[in-house]
Amino acid sequence: MSEESKAEGKKDFIREIIDADLASGKHTEIVTRFPPEPNGYLHLGHAKAICLSFGISQEYSPAHCNLRFDDTNPAKEETEYVESIQEDVRWLGFDWGENLFFASDYFDQLHAFAVQMIEMGKAYVDSLPPEEIRAYRGTLTEPGKESPYRDRSVEENLDLFRRMTAGEFEEGEHILRAKIDMASPNMNMRDPAIYRIRKATHHRTGDKWCVYPMYDFTHGLSDMIEGVTHSLCTLEFEHHRPLYDWFLEELDTPCRPRQIEFARLNLTYTVMSKRFLLKLVENGRVSGWDDPRMPTISGIRRRGVTPEALRRFCQAIGVTKFNGMTDIALLDFHIREHLNAVAPRVLGVLRPLKVVITNYPEDEEEMFEAVNNPEDPEAGKRAVPFSRELYIEQDDFMEDPPRKYFRLAPGREVRLRYACYVTCQEVIKDEAGNVVELHCTYDPESRGGRTADGRKVKGTIHWVSAKHAVPATVRLFDRLFRVEDPHSEEGELEEHLNPDSLETLASCWVEPSVRDQPVGQAFQFERLGYFCLDPDTTPDQLVINRTIGLRDSWAKQAKKA
């Protein structure tokens, strides 16, 4: 059992239902499924659904969770998505074992079920043009109207469906519909379509079919074929449940999966719709589906977020029946909390200012011992090189500091993290008056952070040795949207993108050990935040992503405003 699932607390309503079904003997084995449509990369909302359905399969025994691609729409699906989805589910820490399925595997069975529905007089071929079918459906306040083709004989329906299947008609000429109730208050029950003509090549079945089953028909029957016991989906499917059940009842299937709906994840400053995310990719607003600013699983993985952090976030938000908006600060909290525990600490300077230690010999260098992770005694120590010329952060020097600024200033002494004390003696400027270099002296007796006379300094700053430092490009990411709830704003979603969501710093210097960090695995630049190497890194050029800052700068800004 995973550590997250062991967490104490009241069970959610879905786990309560499962407990009751096991207690009553209704089921002896629990089977769930995660059914992505391979028309995009998975996002954080999918992570919630994955943690729920796969999480349950880990907590109960015997139990398993199927990964089923809902690939009934031939036009939109691509192999790239099928692969990325599998990679993302695995990265999140889940395993479907043998249970990898495609709805398209069931096309023969589904077609046979459709024929059976016709034979039972429960389905008919409608030949109204699509606009009329729409008009005949009625509205939420008015009942629909029956199609003039509704009472075709079984023989005629069978013949037409056979010829639809054989490719004799064009798209939209005919459609197979369930015969339920055109006056039903539930629009989904007004003779929904179950098979339509689509002359497109399918990513798995090629050109074998020119009729394809609709989602509602496919979903419940696929669950049934796989022996799913609890089919967990988001609330927008609540009004589809009567139809889900209707197909299973009419076909009198031996297995009756139960659909249970839960609230989808909505996050502030975030849009999670594959259609919109695809648009961002296509319009070049981001570098791809795995751009670290994207709310996709592959994006936050590239940013350096750990699967544990994401699982703990999903655990923390829980599962309810009420749609709401989750503050993205909660996700950030879990990212920081986990990285604080596991990320090694290193030194790096993002906006460098040169420091020359004038009383340190030019040809000398030495190593100082640095703690890899104060939160983890087993992480050990490493040696960081030090020499006469260093880089410090521009922010860590002020020529005319306000009160309470305890970092470097003219005449002021600070501690260089892990190294020694330095005092700023001289400020070198260029012709325009910009500070370009500081001349400092160091106290040779302060090595290791203590002084002979016991004097204290208030500020500690980070640094790298200029001679040893490795150059790096660092990408600072910020929220993709500048408004909390982009859906509630007027205009196109894209208008609310944060124009400053990416800042690239091209002249950073980092300690040599950063080269040895595994790509994608976050470390902490002390005092700056969590970062990781990007896959764009080459032997000559480190490219580093900021995973997250040390503190929530947005909360501070919001308070100020």
Q: Which residues are at the interface with ligand ATP (CB under 6 A)?
A: 35-37, 45-46, 48-49, 233-234, 264-265, 272-275
Q: Which is nearer to ligand ATP, 45 or 348 (CB)?
A: 45
Q: Which of 150, 199, 264, 527 is catalytic?
A: 264
Could you tell me the smallest distance in angstroms from the CB atom of residue 32 to ligand ATP?
Answer: 10
Cβ atoms of 295 and 328 closer than 8 Å: no
Examine the residue annotation and report whether 37 is marked as an active-site residue of this protein. yes
- Is 479 part of the annotated catalytic residue set? no
Task: State the nearest-atom distance from the C-beta of 272 to Mg ion, in Å.
Answer: 12
List the Cα angle 128/149/188 in 5-degree steps.
70
Q: Catalytic: 33? A: no
Could you write out the DSSP letters of every residue in 331-360?
Answer: HHHHHHHHHHHHPPEE-EESSEEEEEETTS
Among Mg ion, ligand ATP, none, residue 441 binds (CB under 5-8 Å by kind): none
CA atoms of 506 and 543, how far apart (whole Å):
9
Q: Give residues with Cβ within 8 angstroms of 314, minimum separation 6.
A: 47, 48, 51, 52, 55
Cα gap 350→33, rounded to integer Å: 45
In the chain, the amino acid numbered 58 is Q
The H-or-E segment that residue 253 falls in is none
String of b and e for 343-353 (b: at least 16 CB within 10 Å)? bbbbbbbbebb
Judged by beta carbon distances under 5 to 8 A according to partner kind, the member of ligand ATP, Mg ion, none in contact with residue 274 is ligand ATP
**Interface contacts to Mg ion, rule CB under 5 A:** 37
CB of 60 to ligand ATP, least distance (A): 19
Q: Residue 87 binds which one of ligand ATP, Mg ion, none, with CB within 5 to 8 A depending on kind?
A: none
* Residue 170: closest CA among 201, 137, 211: 211
Catalytically annotated residue among 177, 190, 258, 274? 274
Is the CB of residue 385 less than 8 Å from the CB of residue 465? yes
**CA distance readout (Å), 102 to 201, 241, 275, 343:** 16, 21, 21, 38
Whether residue 533 contacts residue 543, with contact meaning beta carbons closer than 8 Å, is answered with yes
| Smallest gap from residue 40 Cβ to ligand ATP (A) | 6
* Number of neighbouring beta carbons within 10 Å of residue 284: 8
* CA 419 to chain CA mean position, Å: 40
Q: The tokens of 259 are what? A: 């659909």
Distance CA 343, CA 521 (A): 8
Smallest distance, ligand ATP to C-beta of residue 278, A: 9
Q: Which is nearer to ligand ATP, 101 or 523 (CB)?
A: 101
Q: Name the residue nearer to ligand ATP (CB basis): 127 or 188.
A: 188
Instruction: Give 265 or 339: the residue with its C-beta nearer to ligand ATP.
Output: 265
Q: Which is nearer to ligand ATP, 270 or 372 (CB)?
A: 270
Residues contacting 250, CB < 8 A, separation 6+: 117, 120, 122
Measured from the CB atom, the residue of 174 and 219 that comes closer to Mg ion is: 219
Nearer to ligand ATP, 49 or 331 (CB): 49
Catalytic-role residue among 37, 87, 173, 437: 37
Comparison of 95 and 500: residue with beta carbon closer to ligand ATP? 95
C-alpha span between 222 and 105 (Å, rounded): 9
Count the Cβ atoms, other than its own, within 10 Å of residue 123: 26
Q: How far is the CB of 390 from ligand ATP (least distance, A)?
A: 48
Which partner from the list Mg ion, ligand ATP, none does 45 bind, CB cut-off 5 to 8 Å by kind?
A: ligand ATP
- Residue of this chain nearest to ligand ATP (CB atom): 45
Hey, what are 346's tokens? 């290193």
Catalytic residue numbers read 37, 264, 274
